[in-house]
Amino acid sequence: MVAITDSSRGLRSNGSVRGPEPATPKPSRENIFLFVPNLIGYARIFLALVSLYYMPLHPRRCSFLYSISCLLDALDGYAARAFNQSTKFGAVLDMVTDRCTTTCLLVFLSTAKPRWSMLFQLLISLDFTSHYMHMYATLAMGGSGKSHKSVDKSRSWILNLYYSNRNVLFVCCALNELFFIALYLLAFSSPIISPALLQPEPSTLQPGNPAVLPKPSTLFANPWSAGAMEMARANKMDSTVPWVLCVISFPVMAFKQWVNVVQIVKASKWLAEGDLAERAKLAEKKQ
C-alpha cells in the first residue's frame, strides 16, 4: 500500500513521522575580483604606476617595468582560458589598463618633445575614440552578451583578423608599445630626437640659450643623488638599439593606427544602422 503524505502535519497516512527534506545546496558565491586574470591585471597596474614614477629620470628602470606590465597583458588572457575565469570585469579592466598606460607614455613624450605634442595628442584621441566606439557599438547593437572581440568577417575582415587571431593581436599590441618605448629611450639618448643632449662648448654658452642645461645641483638637493647619477648615465645612453627597435616596430604601429581608424568607421556605420532601424519602427507605429 502506498503511503500518502500529509504536508500540513509532517506525517504519513500510516502515522509515521516524515523524514526531513534534503537541503537544497546554495550556489557558491565566487569573488570575481580575486580571479587569477584579475590579479594579474592589478599587478600590471602596480608595475605601470612604478614605471611612471621612474619615467622622468630613470629610463632603464621605467622601460623594464613598463615592458613587463605590457607582457603581462598576454598572460592574463591565457590565465582566463586556463582557469575558466573569463569575466566582463576582467575584459574592461584589461582594456582600461591598456589605454591608460599608453596614454601616460604618450603624455610624457608630449612634454619631452613639445614640437610633436599635437601628433601624440591625436594618437591618444584616436586610441580612446576607436576603442570606446567599438565597445559601445558592440554592447548597443550586439547585446550585453557579445564580446567586443567577436567581429564577423562580413562586417570587417581586418577587425576579424585582428581580434580573432591571438598571434596577430599580440604582435600588434606588443610592437605598438615597443615603438613608443623606443621613442621614449631616444628622448634620453639621441641628439636627433633631443637636441639638448648636444653639449655646446663653454665659450658658446650665452644667457637664455635653450641648449644650456641646468646643473644637477639645481634639480636635486644633492648633485650626487641617485637621480642625478641616473640622469648623467641616461644622457650617455647608446641610441643604436632604440633606433633599430623604432624602425622594426614602426610598420606595425602604423598598422594598429589604421585598425583604430577602421574601428571608428565600422562602429559609426553599425550605430547608424541601429538608428535607421529605430526610426523605421517609429515610422511604422505612427502609421
Catalytic residues: 98
Buried b (16+ CB within 10 A) or exposed e, 275-285: eeeeeeeeeee
Longest dimension (CA), the chain: 117
Residues 28, 5: Cα–Cα separation, whole Å: 33
- Count other C-beta atoms under 10 Å from residue 157's C-beta: 12
Residue 158 one-letter amino acid: I
Q: CA-CA distance, 209 to 47, in Å (whole number)? A: 38
- Tell me the backbone φ, ψ of residue 11, rounded to 5 degrees: -120, 155
The CA angle 256-263-164, to the nearest 5 degrees, is 70
Cell 584616436 -> residue: 126
Q: Which three cell numbers stand for residue 204?
A: 658658446
User: Are residues 197 and 189 in contact, defined by beta-carbon separation less than 8 angstroms?
Assistant: yes
Report how far residue 83's alpha carbon sits from residue 157's, in angstroms, rounded to the nearest whole number.
30
How far CA 263 is from CA of 134, 213, 248, in Å, comes to 6, 44, 24
Nine-digit cell at 242?
632604440
Q: For residue 155, give the C-alpha cell.
A: 562586417
Distance CA(166)–CA(160), nearest Å, equals: 11
